[in-house]
Amino acid sequence: MAPQTRLLSLGLISCALASVLPPFGSSHPAPTSGQHGVVFMEQFIHPQVKFNWRNITCPVCKAVFAILDVALLSDANEERVAHAVGEACIRLHLAEEQVCREITELFRSDFIRVLQESLLWPSEACGLLVGPSCGKFDIYAPWNITLPKVPKPPVIPPSPPTPSSPKSRVLFLTDIHWDQEYEPGSAVDCKEPLCCRNSSGSPSWKKRKAGYWGTYGKCDLPLRTVENVLENVARFGPWDWVYWTGDIPAHNVWSQTRKQQLSELSVVSRLIHKYLGPNVTVYPAIGNHESTPVNSFPPPFIRGNRSSAWLYDKMADEWAVWLPEQALKTLRYGGFYTVEVQPGLRVVSLNMNFCAKENFWLMVNSTDPANQLQWLVHILQASEDKGEKVHIIGHIPPGLCLGSWSWNYYHIVNRYESTIAGQFFGHTHLDEFQMFFDEETMTRPVGVAFIAPSITTYVDLNPGYRVYSVDGNYKGSSRLVLDHETYILNLTEANSSPAPNPKWSLLYRATEAYGLSSMFPSNCNGLIRTLINDDRVFQKFWYFRFKGHVSEPCRETCKTTILCFLRSGRYDELEQCDLLNGFGGNLARAARKTLC
């Protein structure tokens, strides 16, 4: 390792343990209106799982990293450093001993390789872990993609289709999180980041027991529930096509193996094909949990065993039943692809792990990893030239991405607003959306990223899925989202007397629930104004956001955080909304800790 190389060794535990924290906006009840905003934001960032680098003082942090920096100049010291990091995790009570040891072992090889190639000083490391008062963490330098010199076409506001116009019915699945070790009757409340497992132990007489179909708590789903979802959607068809945006494995990220990840990828991919049938095409996107270590997605210039070839190649094999060879080629290269869905409509599936701060490989180089955004511009320009509309799918919403990536993506959406007809994401496990506005005034809505709720229950949720009604296949179609529906399995009812076929029910239809004519960007922006002015409608949105399982209303500080999120399709807009409302950066930091 070169002498100038700087280390973030304890960040090994930081990044790894952050991956097992509950998701952004998890469904723990909001504080009452009398509680202080800072308290709310701390709960917003770290619900349930206790993990706080503020236990370490700034001088101690810098001293530790300086020592470790020198230690790793010799490869022979890697074993000692990894052991020391594991011990630090245990002694600082960052997690249970087993989790500390296993996650250190899992992450250490790849993470140390990244640190040896990165340029981090101890002050930068401590700025990340302890806070800005201890140093500045700014390794993700600004960068710009290049747009063609072709002028942007005049924007023609979309008109609602006639009632008799064809409509496309699109199934959307995301965040399955199947737990092979889910055990009915096991403890719901355990010390590990994931419960309801055969290793969680038996609950005492005062404690809750894991249910047959799933459980409210830090729990993922048994395979029977995954299959039941697919049985239900198969009966509810036919579907014109399906979008599926990843996250197959459970949240036991400290103990996963490549073999296990690949097996679960195969099982779930084949189940989807089995239940939906050979005549329904599924367009998948890759989630952050598909890899192990979690969030670890090296750019394509990383070769050999540390590359993501082991994962991308298996995806290409399993998804060849749905995707043509050209799409499989870019999938194998970088986990993204494009396909023509119908004449006049194209889908682009992005690998959003190349925009995620938690992907520690981006510490080496975060400038448009895999040239994915430049490739997206090329696809969009070709579609504009041909008069095609484009749907973009991905796992992590762009408003939660690294600043430069998010800014560039927002710029692309602005330039191609007449071509991009829909954006569809998951990851937060919640039912929400994020708006995009024209960059000149930041007032005219140009797009909306729909964020669909998860199939998993993690954390404290009902299982759910989404159905989109899209302007259909006819000449001049806008291909915009006209409406959407959310379906849930009420676990309280399903587990009360388990039956072979529990009832899935419609939670709500968006246009009906909110009194909208469609889900065009202008309508979604109007909905935000209604949420601001009408608390009754906002509380309805809050209830739907958690798939019908929330115990308290959302008031004042809580409400402001949600409205900031909905308006912020670009990360710096989230920061600005955050600062304007006096959260001092806590909201933006909370958003970046979304690690479902």
Q: Residue 583's pLDDT is what?
A: 63
Whether 124 and 133 have beta carbons less than 8 Å apart is answered as no
SS3 346: strand
Is the per-residue pLDDT at 221 higher than 90? yes
Report the residue count for the chain.
596
Average pLDDT over residues 205-222: 91
pLDDT band at 76 (very low <50, low <70, confident <90, very high): low
Is the per-residue pLDDT at 24 higher than 80? no
Q: Which residues contact 49 (CB under 8 A, 6 or more apart)?
A: 20, 21, 22, 193
Domains and CATH numbers, the chain: 15-22+37-130 (1.10.225), 167-182+220-576 (3.60.21.10)
> Between 577 and 270, where is the model more confident?
270
Q: How far apart, in whole angstroms, are the C-alpha atoms of residue 88 and residue 77?
A: 16
Q: Residue 218's pLDDT is what?
A: 95
Q: How far apart, in whole angstroms, are the C-alpha atoms of residue 60 and residue 34?
A: 37
> Between 132 and 522, where is the model more confident?
522
> Strand 420-425 and strand 432-437: pairing?
unpaired
Tokens coding 594: 């979304």
Q: Residue 437's pLDDT is what?
A: 96
Question: Radius of gyration over alpha carbons of the chain, in Å?
Answer: 23
Q: Residue 120's pLDDT is what?
A: 60
Average pLDDT over residues 275-288: 97
Is the per-residue pLDDT at 430 higher than 50? yes
Is the per-residue pLDDT at 42 higher than 70? no
461 HSE (CA, 13 A, CB side): 32
Is the per-residue pLDDT at 86 higher than 80? no
Q: How far apart, in whole angstroms, are the C-alpha atoms of residue 308 and residue 311?
A: 5
Q: Residue 67's pLDDT is what?
A: 67
Is the per-residue pLDDT at 20 higher than 50? no
For 506-551, the DSSP string reads EEEEHHHHHT-S---HHHHHHHHHHHHH-HHHHHHHHHHHTTT--S
Q: Residue 587's pLDDT is what?
A: 60
Label residues 361-378 b or e (16+ Cβ within 10 Å = b): bbbbbbbbbbbbbebbbe
Q: Which of 71-75, 332-336, 395-399, 426-430 has the lowest mean pLDDT?
A: 71-75
Residue 189 gets the label, from left (phi > 0), alpha (psi -120 to 50) or beta, of beta
> Between 222 and 558, where is the model more confident?
222
Binding-site residues from annotation for Zn(2+): 175, 177, 247, 288, 395, 427, 429
pLDDT in tens, 537-553: 999 999 999 999 987 88
**Cis amide linkage into residue 293, ω under 30° from 0:** yes
Taking the model in full, what pTM does it have? 0.86
* Alpha carbon 62 to its chain's center: 32
Average pLDDT over residues 177-206: 90
Q: Which helix (H) or strand (E) holds 169?
A: strand 167-173
pLDDT band at 360 (very low <50, low <70, confident <90, very high): confident
Is the per-residue pLDDT at 409 higher than 60? yes
Is the per-residue pLDDT at 18 higher than 50? no
> Between 68 and 64, where is the model more confident?
64
Whether 414 and 408 have beta carbons less than 8 Å apart is answered as no
Q: Residue 111's pLDDT is what?
A: 67
Q: Residue 58's pLDDT is what?
A: 82
pLDDT band at 98 (very low <50, low <70, confident <90, very high): confident
Q: Residue 33's pLDDT is what?
A: 36
Binding-site residues from annotation: 175, 177, 247, 288, 395, 427, 429
Is the per-residue pLDDT at 308 higher than 90? yes
Is the per-residue pLDDT at 357 higher than 90? no
Closest residue by Cα to residue 116 from 76, 75, 79: 75
Residues of the chain with pLDDT > 90, as a percent, come to: 63
Q: Which residues contact 386 (CB under 8 A, 6 or more apart)?
A: none
Average pLDDT over residues 259-283: 98
In three-state form (DSSP H/G/I as H, E/B as E, the rest C), the secondary structure along 415-473 is HCCCCEEEEEECCCCCCEEEEEECCCCCCCEEEEEEECCCCCCCCCCCCEEEEEEEECC
Average pLDDT over residues 363-372: 90
> Between 576 and 409, where is the model more confident?
409
Whether 574 and 562 have beta carbons less than 8 Å apart is answered as no
Q: Residue 203's pLDDT is what?
A: 81
Q: Which of 65-74, 225-234, 369-378, 404-413 has the lowest mean pLDDT?
A: 65-74
Q: Which of 11-15, 73-77, 413-417, 481-485 has the lowest mean pLDDT?
A: 11-15
Tokens coding 32: 């009452």
Q: What secondary structure letter does DSSP report for 400?
A: G
Q: Which of 21-25, 188-192, 255-259, 264-268 has the lowest mean pLDDT?
A: 21-25
> Between 502 and 141, where is the model more confident?
502
pLDDT band at 582 (very low <50, low <70, confident <90, very high): low
Edge-to-edge order in the sheet of strand 464-471: 282-284, 241-244, 167-173, 464-471, 481-489, 504-509
Average pLDDT over residues 138-162: 89
pLDDT in tens, 443-458: 999 999 999 999 999 9
What sign for the dihedral angle of Cα 353, 358, 361, 363? positive
Average pLDDT over residues 567-579: 79
Mean pLDDT, rounded, of the chain: 85
Q: Residue 26's pLDDT is what?
A: 34
> Between 535 and 36, where is the model more confident?
535
Q: Residue 71's pLDDT is what?
A: 61
Is the per-residue pLDDT at 5 higher than 60? no
Collect contacts of 531-540 with beta carbons under 8 A, ≥24 apart.
Answer: 531/563, 531/566, 532/563, 535/559, 540/513, 540/514
Task: Give the type of residue at 31.
Answer: P
Q: Which of 191-195, 316-320, 388-392, 414-418 has the lowest mean pLDDT?
A: 191-195
Q: Tokens 């990091």 identify what position?
A: 85
Closest residue by Cα to residue 488 from 431, 448, 567, 413: 431
> Strand 420-425 and strand 481-489: pairing?
unpaired
